[in-house]
Amino acid sequence: MIFLDDLSKAEIEKMLVAIGEKPFRGRQIYKWMYGKNVFDFDKMTDLSIYLREKLNQKYNFRKFVLLNKKTSLADSSMKLLFGLEDGNRIESVVLEDGNRLTGCVSTQVGCRMGCSFCNTGKIGLIRNLTSGEIVRQILVMNSILAGSGKSLSNIVFMGMGEPLDNLQNLKIAIDIILDSDGLNFSHRKVTVSTCGLADELKYLFNELETPVNLAVSLNFADNSSRTKFMPVNSKYNLQYLVETLRSLPVQKRKRITIEYVLLKGINDSAYNARQLTKLLKNLPVKINLISYNASGGKYSPPNQNVIDDFQKILQNSGYSVFLRKSLGEDIMGACGQLYAEYEARD
């Protein structure tokens, strides 16, 4: 059985041509899927009954089921647990901050990057999500929000997994999200976050017709510390990563977001802040400081005065620095907390 939601728009068109249909039939099916959130041939009413019967014999859509929904009492953010075709599970989050509704989307079941302060990394990588499984998260979020007359304003690939470790499916998913026949989001409202897969980052920006926003989870400004806590640094060290960022075709009005999770006594000192100012010199960046979301592990967040001092050092060096709100923390939906009910590895 072939799952049509594993395919790009062009691939769906080719599938329909292969069974003797015109390419526009593929576009019709694509619009039903991603424009109307319909994944049932029998409900695609502008297709003939004969064609629907033919499609049902050879093609299908992946099982994608909402298993659980938790809503934060503190800020109304939602964490969603999904069941997949093969029995695996993923989590997504809707972050509500005033009128801004952001869908935090997963790209993998688990993650193999092994960042020591992230719950998802403790699962290890189970498998990549298909492009359809990535996009279906957004469709379900919008379906839930529609009940209260709302919809997502922004998409961030900051859920389970490292997006650039699932490069081809991520690229197809972004194309669907930006496509006017698909989800029709503006490129200004879509952000890809990476822990630093530099070569994959160059590939993505060269392949996308319209570059989306970029966030880099940096967290450390020296190689020895970053390698200790973020193994990806062994392959792509800070100097290589920063030079890669310099080389990207970032549009003039866009800035790269640097994410920096503050861990008490580890990367939160004035010296660490000064290191960061030197590392990022002359890069078009803004910096998000994130107080570590304590989840029963060995790390803890710094005191507020330490965070304020860290921010001031960066601001005094001319950087735009923001303290990112920790939304969804009471439902384990905040940064680094997603684990989809898997047992964490030791």
Cite the active site residues. Answer: 91, 335
Q: How far is CA 127 from each of CA 56, 86, 328, rounded to the nearest angstrom?
A: 27, 11, 26
Look up tokens 């319909």; give the residue: 38
* Helix (DSSP H) and strand (DSSP E) numbers for the chain: 12, 14
Q: What is the largest CA-CA distance in the chain?
A: 70
Taking the alpha carbons of 163, 196, 257, 212 in that order, is the dihedral positive or negative? negative
Number of C-beta neighbours around residue 33 at 10 A: 26
* Collapsed DSSP state (helix, strand, coil) of residue 293: coil
Report DSSP state, residue 33.
Answer: I
User: What are the two backbone dihedrals, phi and then psi, of residue 195, each rounded to the nearest 5 degrees?
Assistant: -85, 0
Look up tokens 């189970």; give the residue: 126
Tokens of 331: 């439902």
Is-contact 12 30, C-beta < 8 A?
yes
Beta pairing class for 100-104 and 213-217? unpaired
Tokens of 15: 């599938």
User: What are the two backbone dihedrals, phi and then psi, of residue 152, each rounded to the nearest 5 degrees?
Assistant: -65, 140
